[in-house]
Amino acid sequence: MIKRVEPSGIIEDLLDAATEAMMDAYCPYSKFSVGAVILTSRNNIYRGANIENLAYGSTICAERSAICHANAHGERDYLYVAIIAKNGSSSSIEVVAPCGACRQMLYEFAKLSERDTKIIMSNTKRSKVVMASINELLPLGSGSPELAKL
């Protein structure tokens, strides 16, 4: 069930790390900065930030950037993903959820690890924090561990 949560402990730490990652966003066109972090089952945190390109199809989201970072270190079992974003210099008032491409990547890694990864989404003021599992965000996702073995 998608629910509002009060930031505390690990959630607060992950949102702090996502905020730091957001500062590394390269978004000269949209001015929409996004930071994401992944906490793995080995208790490692991997950061990602969105990186834009004039050819928008070449743009990579913060979530997929963090996934690539973790994967490059051999980590594919994710406990939590935290996402935070802002538009230009102003704070956001709404939470930002992963786009469809990011949901699909997170879903596939969740299936590989047999874990329903938790996604923490927050506005920059942290007055609104929402947590959902990847299965809640992509209830009829495509893919299974068996397909990855083909």
**Catalytic residue annotation:** 63
Q: Please state, as a whole number, how many other Cβ atoms lie within 10 Å of the Cβ of residue 59.
A: 16
Strand duo 129-133 + 90-91: pairing: unpaired
What are phi and psi for residue 32, nearest 5 degrees? -105, 100
Q: Contact, 48 vs 64, CB < 8 A?
A: yes
3-state secondary structure of 124: coil
Amino acid at 12: E
The single-letter DSSP state of residue 110 is H
Residues in Cβ contact with 137 at an 8 Å cutoff, skipping those fewer than 6 apart: 2, 97, 98, 103, 106, 119
